[in-house]
Amino acid sequence: AQRVTQPEKLLSVFKGAPVELKCNYSYSGSPELFWYVQYSRQRLQLLLRHISRESIKGFTADLNKGETSFHLKKPFAQEEDSAMYYCALLPYNTDKLIFGTGTRLQVFP
Amino acid sequence: DGGITQSPKYLFRKEGQNVTLSCEQNLNHDAMYWYRQDPGQGLRLIYYSQIVNDFQKGDIAEGYSVSREKKESFPLTVTSAQKNPTAFYLCASSILRTRVATGELFFGEGSRLTVL
């Protein structure tokens, strides 16, 4: 079965602390993975995609096929990072993104 | 101003009534989607359409219906058969994967439906 698991509903950290939002996937093929973010009163939007190997707003995510994980990391959290984060999987040859249940990140001053 | 427009933003409905949520895009995207967002359950796909006059059921299509008569429009009807319709509904669009494999969805601001 194709599935995305985000085990944490809520992650709270203080400003300047490292952040790791966990994402595990279940997929038999070669996955395409994404992180989406929804800031308060804003639209859900793409944060980054694994295929681009990019760093956006200080966030990075590395695909680990052995552990079937795609954790989102940032070395020093900022208050403006507070948002809802969704990990998503795009199976091969489809246009249907499969989303995880989301993790709310709270960054305290 | 390009993007996806959903309306209404808030909607109240009595039990037993059908209601239609509007979704319009001017991004010239081929594919359009409807998701339902519930706390603790993430985004679940209701219906999607890759081309005009064609659409497919998602994971939770029961109690919903859609149409795709124009490329720009993908309205969702929540019927009285939907057992738990109170939710936040998100519409999205994307370039078809077969054209550009980006996987990026562009979302509307959402419609909150409350059944009284």
What would the two tokens of residue B89 be?
Answer: 């509904």
Give the integer Cα–Cα distance in Å for A8 and A101: 9
Contacts of B90 in chain A (CB under 8 A): 44
B35 within 8 A of B90, measured Cβ to Cβ: yes
Kindly report the backbone phi and psi dihedral angles of residue B32, in degrees, each rounded to the nearest multiple of 5, phi listed first: -135, 155
Per-residue pLDDT of chain B (116 residues; tens, 9 = 90+): 569 999 999 999 888 899 999 999 999 999 999 999 998 888 999 999 999 999 999 999 999 999 999 999 999 999 988 888 999 999 999 987 665 556 788 999 999 999 88
Residues of chain A contacting B, Cβ within 8 Å: 6, 9, 32, 34, 36, 43-46, 49, 86, 88, 90, 93-97, 99-102
User: Among candidates B97, B61, B81, B78, which has minimal Cα distance to B18?
Assistant: B78
pLDDT band at A104 (very low <50, low <70, confident <90, very high): very high
Distance from CA of B116 to the nearest CA of A (A): 24
